[in-house]
Amino acid sequence: QYHLFRRETQFNYPKEPEAITFETPFGKFGIFTCFDILFREPAVVLVSELQVDTVLFPTAWMNVLPFLTAVEFHSAWAMGMGVNLLSANTHNISLAMTGSGLFTPEGPAAYHYDSGTEEGHLLLAELNARPRLSPTYPPAVNWSSYATSIKKFPGGKDTFSGAVRRDIFTFSELKHEAGNYTVCQGDLCCHLVYWMSNKSKDEVYVLGAFDGLHGSLIKYHWQICTLLKCRSTDLNTCGQPVETAQTKFERFSLSGTFGTNYVFPEVLYSGVQLAPGEFEVLRDGRLKSKHGTSKPLVTATLFGRLYEKDLPHPLRT
């Protein structure tokens, strides 16, 4: 209902959309669809106010690199919100719609991404029915704690602007195989400590920051810290979609001075693959690799949402 209300005005929609939940012997469930996941209502309301354990999420999700491929963002949302998200995406490779998963607060229990065939795929996994009661439930994170407690790192002085679609990021090239960088934009400063294990000579990585409104018809506020691979060695390509990489990282630690506690941690490997069990979020807001990355890294991102700074929806009366 919310999805139709926001995006697809050719369909009927209710004057007062409802947040839908239902109780079962195996937890409290909530339902929303597609574009809803990017907004406070109904997505955050279901989790924070109505206290659902598991979200059922049917979607026709078009993958948008570097931050919004289905498996990447949906897994990150489940971790950031601390609930199970059962994401059932349609599979239409001509429309770049692929990627489903059973995602938990600890990471993906099962997921599938296939851009090569039109075959569907059934996913099965055993999840905690009430994840908040699980002994492995992650502790609450203060996303700005570490980043606001340290001085800016010296690396990152040579910054340049680059577009991720229409969003203008502030980037700094990682010129060495290891280093400490800080990049700032608006109220957001992003800190990165990293050590590459096999930097490919024909690959460029950057640290980027974005603090501002995203979108055209509907404008909503993002705060993003990202370590990402550029499409080529030309810095003008930084922020453009890229699916593969060759460079692995011995370690990385990413943090930011977020003005929100709604932050979603993303790690995407070469071939649009996730990294279950290979990274962790510390209570002070650092996104850290546990060991070296097992595959080359495409992006590691902290995707923050400042819902209270979203502009009013233009279709609401």
Of the residues 133, 162, 181, the one at which a domain ends = 133
Is 90 exceeded by the pLDDT of residue 17?
no
Q: Are 28 and 51 in contact (CB under 8 A)?
A: yes
Instruction: For residue 250, give the nearest of 142, 148, 178, 174 by alpha carbon.
Output: 178
Mean pLDDT, range 63-88, rounded to an integer: 98
**Domain-embedded: residue 138:** no
Q: What is the pLDDT of residue 76?
A: 98
Q: What pLDDT is stored for residue 5 in this prediction?
A: 41
Tally of domains within the chain: 2
The pLDDT-based confidence of 3 (bands split at 50, 70, 90) is very low
- Does 153 reside within a domain? yes
Q: Which of 22, 277, 107, 183 shows the shortest CA–CA distance to 31?
A: 22
Best CA proximity match to 191, nearest among 65, 119, 288: 288
DSSP strand pairing (205-214 vs 220-229): antiparallel
Is residue 1 included in any domain, yes or no? no
Check whether residue 223 and residue 163 sit in a common domain: yes
234 and 214, same domain (yes or no): yes
Assess whether 42 and 158 both reside in one domain: no
Confirm whether 123 is domain-assigned.
Answer: yes
Q: Is the pLDDT of residue 308 over 80?
A: yes
Same domain, 184 and 292: yes
pLDDT tens-place string over residues 123-182: 999 999 999 999 999 999 999 999 999 999 998 889 999 999 999 999 999 999 999 999
Domain termination site, one of 133, 158, 183 = 133
Same domain, 98 and 240: no
Residue type, 276: P
Same domain, 158 and 287: yes
Same domain, 231 and 93: no
User: Which residue, 133, 160, 179, sits at the end of a domain?
Assistant: 133
For residue 12, being part of any structural domain is answered with: no
In this prediction, residue 170 carries a pLDDT of 98
Q: Identify whether residues 162 and 303 lie together within a single domain.
A: yes
Q: Are residues 38 and 93 in the same domain?
A: yes
Are 67 and 201 within one domain?
no
Same domain, 180 and 231: yes
Q: What is the mean pLDDT of residues 266-271?
A: 98
Q: What residues make up the domain containing 292?
A: 144-309
Measure the CA–CA gap between 112 and 44, rounded to whole angstroms. Answer: 25
Please report whether residue 98 resides in a domain. yes
| Mean pLDDT value across residues 185-190 | 98
Residue 6 has pLDDT above 60, yes or no: no
Are 115 and 200 in a shared domain? Answer: no
Of residues 11 and 1, more confidently modeled: 11
In a domain, 82, yes or no: yes
- pLDDT value for 109: 98
**Which CATH number goes with the domain that contains 76?**
3.60.110.10
Q: What CA–CA distance (Å, rounded) separates 181 from 228?
A: 13
Q: What is the mean pLDDT of residues 218-240?
A: 97
> Residue 1: is its pLDDT beyond 50?
no
* The pLDDT value given to residue 290: 96
In the chain, the percentage of residues whose pLDDT exceeds 70 is 94
Residue 139 falls inside a structural domain = no
